[in-house]
Amino acid sequence: MSGAVEPGRRRGPTQRELNRRATRRALATAALELFASNGYEATTVDDIAARAGVSPRTFFLHFPTKAAAAYPDHDVRLRRFVHLLGDPESTPDPVARVILVLRTTLDASSSTRRLRYQLMMGVDELRDEDARSDRDYEAAIAEFLLRGWGEWPASVEARLRARATANAMIGVVRAALLAWGEDDVDPGPAAGDVLDRLFGVGISRPMEIRRARPVADGAAGRGDPPAADVR
What is the residue extent of each domain of the chain? Answer: 12-70, 73-231
Neighbours of 161 (CB within 10 A): 17
**pLDDT band at 217, cuts 50/70/90?**
low
Assign 205 a pLDDT band (cuts: 50, 70, 90): low
Q: 31 with 43: CB under 8 angstroms?
A: yes
* Residue 2: pLDDT over 80: no
Higher pLDDT, 110 or 69: 69
Burial class (CB in 10 A: 0-12, 13-18, 19+), 57: exposed
12-70: CATH number: 1.10.10.60
Express each pLDDT in 144-169 by its tens digit.
999 999 988 888 888 999 999 999 99
Residue 54 has pLDDT above 90, yes or no: yes
Spatial neighbors of 101 by CB under 8 A, at least 6 apart, are 81, 84, 85, 230
Cα separation, 196 vs 95, in Å, equals 10
pLDDT at 226 over 50: no
End-to-end CA distance of the chain: 36
- Which CATH number is associated with domain 73-231? 1.10.357.10
Q: For residue 88, is pLDDT > 90?
A: yes
Reported confidence tier of residue 225, pLDDT bands at 50, 70, 90? very low
**Low-confidence winner among 36-50, 148-162, 191-205 (lowest mean pLDDT):** 191-205
